[in-house]
Structure 1
Amino acid sequence: MSDDPTCGVAHGHAPGEPAADRVLVAVFASPVAAALLRFGVECGFAPVLVEPGGREVDGLPGGTTRLTAVPAEPHADVVVCDHHRDELGEVLRDALATDTRWIGLMGNPRHEGPHVAALAALGVPPEEVARVHRPIGLDIGSRAPAEIAVSTLAGLLADRNGRSGGQLAR
């Protein structure tokens, strides 16, 4: 057996303990949010769904905390899963006011995100708006909710681990 601890985890010889400092916050109930939280649990994240409108979604993992606002959690990665919601500006403004680790917004990278105008209208300074990551995830051609979740989670893990998330060296 190799001395590489990662190899040991892959073969079940070393404990793959979940990190105690990982919280994944999916904002706005959707199939993508449910998939993101399910896969997040597998990667050691505590799952949180923020849904200010009270919408429901199927497929959330057991133990998901449900809130109406982004928690002030320094270990949290916040992923806004719908950029068409009327509450987008307020939710992002409030998230930016917390000490959360990372905030990202899903959406088409070829267009300016609607969060820019929404936050400007609420008086949020440009340097704060710039803290919202967009686009997010790895460019793998995602289309289905599970694919979007995998792409997003891979990007978050790369960021947490100080990696670019690019192609592996050959």
Structure 2
Amino acid sequence: MTDRVLVAVFDSPVAGVLLRWAPELGFRTVLVDPDPARGADATSVADLGEDLSDADVVVTDHHRPELGEVVRDALARPVRWVGVMGNPRHEGPHVAALAALGVPPEEVARVHRPIGLDIGSRAPAEIALSTLAGLLADRNGRPGSPHGR
């Protein structure tokens, strides 16, 4: 299928569904969570020693205090795409968090929000389904992907 990598950031209900379903769709998955007690594969995207040039980084919780640092670290790697979950009617908290860390506006603009296809998702499984559908649309060169095709 593909060598694409899906990096789910923060151990959350949405991340749990992404980690279960994404391999069925050809993604290799990695869980990143700054809290070592959560048992993730890594505590930072910066700690991942592999090639992430074809990786999609999906931040699955926009309320965590580590949001800015995690997104900054993802942007510092040569990843293909970074997206943060959240309501599109409000500016994402990652914007202020990244600005406070001195991340230039052009780098902040690389962060996609919302993520996935607009199917009215509310529950974790629906959000994961929407996200994976958008990533598949992009992989297959179809319109509607969150990557701007």
Please report the TM-score for the alignment, with normalisation by the length of structure 2.
Answer: 0.89
What is the rounded CA distance, in whole Å, between the counterparts of 1:109 and 1:119 in structure 2?
A: 18
The one-letter amino acid paired with 1:41 is: P
The answer to whether the Cα contact below 8 Å between 1:23 and 1:48 also exists between their aligned partners in 2 is yes
Please report the TM-score for the alignment, with normalisation by the length of structure 1.
Answer: 0.78
Q: What's the Cα RMSD here?
A: 1.6
Structure 2, unpaired ranges of 5+: none
* Match of residue 57 from structure 2: 78
The one-letter amino acid paired with 1:90 is: E
* Match of residue 67 from structure 1: 42
Q: Which moved more, 1:121-130 or 1:139-148?
A: 139-148
Matched, 1:22 2:1: no
Q: 2:14 aligns with which of 27, 32, 37?
A: 32
Q: Which moved more, 1:156-165 or 1:79-88?
A: 156-165
Q: Structure 1 pair 55/29, CA: closer, same or farther in 2 (3 Å)?
A: farther
Count of equivalent residues:
141
The one-letter amino acid paired with 1:95 is: A
* Match of residue 156 from structure 1: 135
The answer to whether the Cα contact below 8 Å between 1:28 and 1:80 also exists between their aligned partners in 2 is yes
Identity of aligned residues (%): 74
Give the C-alpha shift of residue 126 in structure 1. 0.5
Give the C-alpha shift of residue 55 in structure 1. 4.7
Q: 2:25 aligns with which of 40, 43, 52?
A: 43
Name whichever structure is richer in helix by fraction: 2
The one-letter amino acid paired with 2:112 is: H
